[in-house]
Amino acid sequence: MVALTLYHAVPSRSSSVRWMLEELGEPYEIELIALSKGDQRSEAYKAINPMGKVPALRHGDAVVSEAAAICTYLADAFPGANLNIPIGDPLRGPYLKWLFFGPSCIEAAILDRAMPRKEEPRRGVLGYGDIGTVLDVVSGALKGGPYLMGQQFTAADVVVGSALRFGATFKLLPDLPEIAAYIARLQERPALQRTVTLDGELAAAAS
């Protein structure tokens, strides 16, 4: 019996977790959630994720939701894949920063750009400040190596990279060379290429 089950929909944020699972190389099962049919609002699924959204992950008796939390959990649960920074390493702090920075700053800033507010809020009201600062911080980090943690690819790159790929796909990001090059490097990873292919097959089957 496969211990890992991803509750997944295409297209959705759960693709970032599928990418993470492909990077791990561990066997996993997919439980498809048809958003168009309202599967995410069923009582059976809300018992797994009361928010009624994907992704969610079952690992044995553990259930985890929220994409960044799942990626963090998987990286720690399978340290042999070298996708985490272990507790006790001083780089654990910056690593965790990026895992939280992805959904709370990058994704929030991109979505605000996609759906502008009627009135521009004061800068201090927004947790991310402004999108220019957010992207400058990411660009600065990438000058130190091919990935956020330097030479090591980690779960933080899955989380941050997924948000940036989303923004680039829908042309919601300014043209910044460091970020464009980073996305291009991520696109070359076999695990991401497998994820795109597998999710494309699911989308085609559902159409």
Is the separation of the CB atoms in 179 and 135 below 8 Å? yes
pLDDT at 62 > cutoff 60: yes
- What is the overall mean pLDDT for the chain? 95
| Per-residue pLDDT at 123 exceeds 90 | no
pLDDT bracket for residue 54 (50, 70, 90): very high
List strands edge to edge, sheet with 62-65: 29-32, 4-8, 56-59, 62-65
Interior CA angle at 203 toward 19 and 50, to 5°?
Answer: 65
pLDDT at position 23: 98
- Would you state the pLDDT for residue 168? 96
Q: What does the pLDDT average to over 94-115?
A: 96
Q: Given this model, what pLDDT does residue 124 score?
A: 77
- The string of pLDDT tens digits covering residues 6-53 is 999 999 999 999 999 999 999 999 999 999 999 999 999 999 999 999
Nearest Cα neighbor of 78 from 29, 25, 16 is 25
Q: What are phi and psi of 107, to 5 degrees?
A: -65, -40
Structure tokens at 118: 């009627």
The answer to whether the CB of 131 falls within 8 A of the CB of 110 is: yes
Q: 1: pLDDT confidence band, cut at 50, 70 and 90?
A: low
- pLDDT at site 119: 79
Q: Read off the pLDDT band of 98 (50, 70, 90).
A: very high
Bridge-based pairing state of the strands 29-32 and 56-59 = unpaired
Helix 190-206, helix 14-24: angle, nearest 10: 130
Residue 116: the pLDDT is 87
